[in-house]
Amino acid sequence: MGMNMETKLRDFHQARWDEPIIYELSREGERGILIPEVDEVMRYPDEGLEEIPQELRREAPPNLPEMGQMRVLRHYLRLSQENLGADLNIDIGQGTCTMKYSPKINDQLAANPKVSELHPFQSQETVQGLLKMMYETEQYLRGISGMDRFSLHPGGGSHAIFTIASIVRAWVDSRGESDKRDEIITTIFSHPSNAAASKLKGFKVITIYPGPDGRPDIEALKAAVSERTAALFITNPEDIGIYNSRIKEFTDIVHSVGGLCSYDQANLNGIMGLTRAREAGFDLCFYNLHKTFSSPHGCGGPGGGVVGVTEELAQFLPVPLVSFDETTGKYFLDYDVPNTIGKVKDFYGVVPVILRAYAWIRSLGEEGLKEAAKVALLNNNYIFKKILDIKGASAPYAEGELRMEQVRYSWEKLYKDTGVTTTDIQNRMFDFGVHYWTSHEPWIVPEPFTIEPTESYSKDELDEFIAILKHVANEAYTNPEIVKTAPHKSVIHHIDHDYLDDPEKWAITWRAYKKKYTGYFEPRKNRDE
Amino acid sequence: MEKKKIVYPYIPNSEPSVQKEMLEAIGINDIEELYKCIPEEVKFKGSMGLPEPLLSEWDLKRHVDGMMSKNASCLEYLSFLGGGCYQHHVPAICDEVNRRSEFLTAYAGEPYEDHGRFQALFEYASMMAELVDMDVVNVPTYDGSQAAATSLRMASRITKRDKVLVAGNSSPDRLRIIRNYCHPGVEVEIIPFDPKTGRLDLDALKEKINDGIAAVYFENPSFFGTIETTGQAIAEAIHSSGGLLVVFVEPNSLGVLAPPSRYGADIVCGDLQSLGLHMYYGGARAGFIATPDEERFVMEYPSRLFGIAPTSHKEWGFGDVAWERTSFAKRENAKEFVGTAAALWAITAGVYLALMGPKGMEELGKGILQRTRYARDLLAKIPGVKPMFDQTPAYREFVMNFDDTGMKVKEINEKLLEEKIFGCVDLSEKFPALGECGLFCVTEIHTAEDIEFLARAIAKVVS
């Protein structure tokens, strides 16, 4: 029989193929695919190698697996079954990442050969449809943000942050303030790349911590700003799911000392169409097309991070932009950006991701986008209420207040009561077929977990997730061993982490493994053996 | 007429009765109460100016496909374009695997329930490691240019020196990415190439090398398709001053060409597009970085590195190696930064390498070398059309000069379009010293007939 509809718990076991490493499947001589023969007239005596100096020829063919085609397919399909994508689980345990439904039709639209088989240097006359799509996407993003110009280039959110840091660097340099404005202020509940990319672009990083209500401490901001402030890099709502209602004051404070304000909008999903970067006083912002705009996450990319700026800062954007020429009626790649930072990415952006975002916006329209935001809030506050009823769970900060699109919770009490950690809980959640992520470091919130239900999941699915969480929390109190030794029904069992941090022990490739070990992790006594 | 409430297929809880039930559970009456924390001054009340929605899937499909029908693809035209993005055959299995829901829609799961992606990425790294002859390969970054830029930053940190020398025959767009990425902190100086051979000017390079130089960087093949034959001498020059050699290599050439480690490269980088990724107008890229398995290299990667580890039940387990390097763990005290980049394309490149195997990569390389030579020789027979750098062997791409035809490359390309040919990458603006030059590209998909068709079309255009 199927899952128990009363308890909402599944008798789950993930696929477990015990699949060998691909090199263990190799059989000399097998072929996975044949490639076109060289026509007779193009054949040279030494198969093209005659012009290549001996020392530049490969001595022996690369040691790659040799496998028939179906064996390759089967190996990878087994690996895919040992992976739990958003299409298969109630993927709300990966807060901050907006694991929403990626509509299948959009994948189909992006796979069109009239998209996939285009070359970036082919005549722009022959890509007018694609350029129009990119141009229109920018128009929509302008409307959603209130910004004046967008670059579609960056390959992900962190890459967008890096692009913004590059623009701030160019802006500071252009004003002759390179040595003077050398600080960027961020908050501890903004994504770590805000701090890391700022440092890379030569800025000193100042991190603001929250006050008792969970919102970044405005007094700390006032104390941090000065004529050295180049910019504020901030998320709102932050990763704990609390909206900073004084955001306009924040941007005003930074502007009062002459700095710029950059809005990390990874957490756009709950506020889309309800409040915009422009009205909150930001000069720059970015969106993750693989989060809010539904493009699939692809095991960690390809993604898309689009950067929006005010008119004043458009002169620094990477080239080219996509523009429209009124006189010819043509779309074109526009390199006329006077103080461009140059380029941050090959060519013009992650086209299949941009196309999916375009299709998603077109399918929902203005009202649909707002509905998505509102339902993301509704789903989150519904689950918020239910999780607070679970023994051992809490949501630090702003007690009694509702939340935005996600919540950072804590198992601090459960840990004190039982010794079970959030990592233990995580490992046990897998036994019921759902993901669960702890949280970005550092763990300011003790034993944290972050839940973001987005608009994509039904009430019944949210109830199922809550039932699993409740069950596992209850196990922590009644049978902590089963939680601490989890997972039991996942693909594999407890991993020994010693092998990942010790240079003598780690092996990042199979050939490194073969140099360090024989059999199953038996160290080679002599590396040259 | 009252507007009908739409129940959106992507938003199950847009259904009114369930919304009511959930509001009751929360203890509020109206969904508006959920965003009362947004103050009036920043609430957006205007219109975003979005077009009317295409609510039915059919309407959406018709609209988007209709728009894309305005494009002419490289399946409809005969293309000889390269310059960083290449038309190779993408095996069906590559698409079959990367379109699997389990991989396509996964993200950041743990090594337990996302065991499959960890193993697939470990295997990808293992196969790339064999191809480039190194022991460490990263989970890829955004693109090859990013990989090149990070490789140079890594070299700077390893050597504690803040200047790098970069070959002038590298991709100009890549150099823009490197310059922006290295600024501030690492100075980038361009070393000229020899206009006769297309190779790096070794004497000019040697003059610039001193104990302040962190690394020398060149691309093999170069942007012009020429194969750098003096790699060993370049390596000796930079090593003798304590610097590192960084080589950007085309991985699909390595079935026949020696991996850069053989001529002394310390860090090898490149792009995966030619290993099973469709072109997507330049939108499908992934950057690899490979080094020896030494702590001084490994600890400088900003990327994630997946290692193999034992489990309590003697299974193959995996996990993040040296996590504390990354910005996820250390924010501004990390090595550069890391985030969502291009993992699915690495899985795809792994599938490609597994399908091709050693023989496939060897045959691919030989086939491309022969086609390159054939095409260059054939075009050179056209009056007024001269091959550039033709004393240097070339892989996949080659440069032709049209000065003696009295025509601009731009005009020639426009005329070729009439024959349904995408001709060549016009070099006249980025390399004005070369005159009217175009960069042509041939891969395993081109037959002798295709190349002859191009030659006839050019002959007609320039006559």
* Cα of A335 to nearest chain B Cα, Å: 12
Partners of B112 on chain A (C-beta within 8 Å) are: 427, 430, 487, 490-492, 495
At B77, the pLDDT band (50, 70, 90 cuts) reads very high
Cβ of A64 and B131 within 8 Å?
yes
DSSP annotation of B382? S
Cβ of B25 and A111 within 8 Å?
no
pLDDT digits (tens, 9 = 90+) for A199-210: 999 999 999 999
- β pairing state of A204-208 and A183-187: parallel
Cβ of A102 and B71 within 8 Å?
no
Cβ of A64 and B127 within 8 Å?
yes
The domains located in chain B, with CATH, are 78-87+359-462 (3.90.1150.10), 92-352 (3.40.640.10)
- Amino acid in position B50: L
Mean pLDDT of B253-280: 98
Partners of B306 on chain A (C-beta within 8 Å) are: 508
The residue in chain A having the minimum alpha-carbon distance to the alpha carbon of residue B174 is A346
Cβ of A508 and B135 within 8 Å?
yes
Partners of A388 on chain B (C-beta within 8 Å) are: none
Partners of A132 on chain B (C-beta within 8 Å) are: 67, 70
The yes-or-no verdict on residue B171 having pLDDT over 70 is: yes
Among candidates A339, A447, A436, A444, which has minimal Cα distance to A393?
Answer: A447
Tell whether A41 is within 8 A of chain B (Cβ). Answer: yes
Cβ of A371 and B6 within 8 Å?
yes
What's residue A265's pLDDT?
98
Arithmetic mean of pLDDT over chain B: 97
DSSP annotation of B220? E
At A3, the pLDDT band (50, 70, 90 cuts) reads confident
The yes-or-no verdict on residue A119 having pLDDT over 50 is: yes
CA distance A260 to A336: 24
Cβ of B71 and A404 within 8 Å?
no
CA distance B92 to B311: 34
ipTM surpassing 0.85? yes
Partners of A101 on chain B (C-beta within 8 Å) are: 10
Cβ of B357 and A42 within 8 Å?
no
pLDDT digits (tens, 9 = 90+) for A382-409: 999 999 999 999 999 999 999 999 999 9
pTM comes to: 0.98
pLDDT digits (tens, 9 = 90+) for A477-509: 999 999 999 999 999 999 999 999 999 999 999
Which 307-326 residues of chain A touch chain B by CB within 8 A? 318
CA distance B232 to A282: 52
- Which residue matches tokens 């799961």? B109
Tell whether B251 is within 8 A of chain A (Cβ). Answer: no
Arithmetic mean of pLDDT over chain A: 97
Mean pLDDT of A30-42: 98
pLDDT digits (tens, 9 = 90+) for B137-163: 999 999 999 999 999 999 999 999 999
* Cα of B443 to nearest chain A Cα, Å: 10
Among candidates A3, A7, A4, which has minimal Cα distance to A467?
Answer: A7
At A525, the pLDDT band (50, 70, 90 cuts) reads confident
Mean pLDDT of A240-259: 97
The yes-or-no verdict on residue A526 having pLDDT over 70 is: no
Partners of A366 on chain B (C-beta within 8 Å) are: 47-48, 50, 53
The yes-or-no verdict on residue A1 having pLDDT over 80 is: no
Tell whether A10 is within 8 A of chain B (Cβ). Answer: no
**Closest Cβ–Cβ partner in B42, B331, B445 for A280:** B42
| Tokens, residue B110 | 């743990």
Which 183-222 residues of chain A touch chain B by CB within 8 A? 191-193, 195-202, 205, 207
What's residue B453's pLDDT?
98
- C-alpha distances out from residue A343 to A152, A163, A227, B405, B454, Å: 12, 9, 29, 34, 32
Partners of B181 on chain A (C-beta within 8 Å) are: 344
pLDDT digits (tens, 9 = 90+) for A137-153: 999 999 999 999 999 99
* Cα of A528 to nearest chain B Cα, Å: 15
Helix and strand numbers, DSSP H then E, in chain A = 15, 13
Helix and strand numbers, DSSP H then E, in chain B = 14, 15
Topology annotation, domain A367-484:
Aspartate Aminotransferase, domain 1 (3.90.1150)
Tell whether A503 is within 8 A of chain B (Cβ). Answer: yes
Tell whether the torsion through CA atoms of A263, A265, A269 and A270 is positive or negative.
negative
pLDDT digits (tens, 9 = 90+) for B328-347: 999 999 999 999 999 999 99
Mean pLDDT of B198-219: 98
* Cα of B289 to nearest chain A Cα, Å: 13
Cβ of B285 and A87 within 8 Å?
no
Phi/psi zone of residue A419: left (φ > 0), alpha (ψ -120 to 50 degrees), beta? left
What's residue A41's pLDDT?
98
Q: What are phi and psi of A183, to 5 degrees?
A: -125, 140
Query: What residues form DSSP beta bridges with A407?
Result: A451
Cβ of A48 and B361 within 8 Å?
no
SS3 sequence, A22-43?
HHHHCCCCCCCCCCCCCCHHHC
| Tokens, residue B42 | 């920043």
What's residue A528's pLDDT?
54
A:B CB pairs within 8 Å: 746
Phi/psi zone of residue A258: left (φ > 0), alpha (ψ -120 to 50 degrees), beta? left
Cβ of A130 and B68 within 8 Å?
yes
Cβ of A509 and B69 within 8 Å?
no
What's residue A45's pLDDT?
92
Cβ of B368 and A162 within 8 Å?
no
CA distance B251 to B253: 5
Tell whether B107 is within 8 A of chain A (Cβ). Answer: yes
Cβ of A500 and B320 within 8 Å?
yes
**Closest Cβ–Cβ partner in A44, A73, A301 for B344:** A301
Q: Residues of chain A with pLDDT > 90: what percent?
A: 98
Partners of A371 on chain B (C-beta within 8 Å) are: 6, 8, 11, 14
The B187-191 sheet, strands edge to edge? B136-137, B287-291, B267-271, B244-249, B213-220, B163-167, B187-191
Which 188-227 residues of chain B touch chain A by CB within 8 A? 227
At A527, the pLDDT band (50, 70, 90 cuts) reads low
**Closest Cβ–Cβ partner in A51, A494, A508 for B311:** A494
Phi/psi zone of residue A377: left (φ > 0), alpha (ψ -120 to 50 degrees), beta? alpha
Cβ of A75 and B100 within 8 Å?
no
* Cα of B209 to nearest chain A Cα, Å: 24
**Closest Cβ–Cβ partner in B42, B102, B136 for A85:** B102
Question: Helical H runs in A128-286?
Answer: 128-145, 157-174, 192-200, 218-224, 247-256
Q: Residues of chain B with pLDDT > 90: what percent?
A: 99
What's residue B20's pLDDT?
97
The yes-or-no verdict on residue B2 having pLDDT over 70 is: no
Domain boundaries, chain A: 22-81, 367-484, 495-529
Cβ of B357 and A67 within 8 Å?
yes
What's residue A529's pLDDT?
47
The residue in chain B having the minimum alpha-carbon distance to the alpha carbon of residue A515 is B135
Which 374-433 residues of chain B touch chain A by CB within 8 A? 374, 393, 413-414, 417, 422, 425
